[in-house]
Structure 1
């Protein structure tokens, strides 16, 4: 196929429907400082490199966290366990909570720069914003990991076909 070939248009709704087939770990991306914190539930998070440790997180340009990450240059990625389903729902806006209200009902600490970290997350990564790449409705935030913490034992929370859940490991 030549580079000049015209590809058929893909409808956004059909694209979203197909992407729901991709099971993903559930994370809460947090930012801001005490009294002015915000965040969102996300599955579009992944490692980028381990030398130096970096990750990327995709955030909708309309999300309340988007301008805060840009302004502060800091964010955290908190990987949720199945027991943290209520946290995922709250940060997804399912109960109408916004901003600081989303942090109610869970124990939070912070890294040295004041970025909120979920105390009992499977893993938390405090990040300094290294780069932002805007594409359509979202930005890809590249974060250099400056703090991390892990706890073991609980199955991860997953998102698949529009639902939160977990999986049974094979023997």
Structure 2
């Protein structure tokens, strides 16, 4: 039998201030997505890691949307969104969609898109895109938790490495 000796865990104060919380959360690997919406007010989008599956019957996703993102009100107004999961080589999109220095037109000009059945932009070459309709919104002080029913799913068979955010940097997954 082989025993593995683990290094002692670094402990932090029991209170959780924002910086300690962010540092702790940086150790949770998360898929990187572009959340996009389209409708009467045009195309809007932002980078998000706070996305998860809720159910497969019916297929449902949870997306946390910061109230300060310019896309927030447009998602609620359009009542649709797409969750575009980024693949290897799409790091530049993550950076552009998370920066206020790019206009929405400049962000969307960096890639090829197609309009989905709801009008939400779907990223060509994404690992997978989930096109959804908003079914419920739960308000918190800083974010809206959007529960969205999946209406359409598409993926690129050529994309085999997913892009992950881990310890404040990019990492890749392989199948």
TM-score by length of 2: 0.86
Given the superposition, is the C-alpha separation of residues 25 and 167 from structure 1 closer, same or farther in structure 2, using an over 3 Å criterion? same
| Larger of the two Rg values belongs to structure | 2
Matched, 1:113 2:118: yes
Alignment-derived partner of residue 139 in structure 1: 144
Task: Give 5+ residue unaligned stretches, structure 2.
Answer: 1-13
Distance 2:107 2:96 in 1: 6
Which is richer in strand?
2
Equivalences for residues 6-155 of structure 1 within 5 A: 9-33=15-39, 36-93=42-99, 96-152=101-157, 153-155=159-161
Give the CA deviation at 1:162: 1.0
Native 8 Å contact 2:162 2:174 kept in 1? no
Distance 1:134 1:9 in 2: 25
Question: 1:112-140 CA distances to partner (integer Å, 9 max, x unpaired)?
Answer: 22110001111001110011111221111
Q: CA RMSD in A?
A: 1.7
SS in 2 for 1:82: coil
Distance 2:155 2:81 in 1: 17
Given the superposition, is the C-alpha separation of residues 35 and 120 from structure 1 closer, same or farther in structure 2, using an over 3 Å criterion? farther
Q: How many residues align?
A: 161
Task: Give 5+ residue unaligned stretches, structure 1.
Answer: 1-7
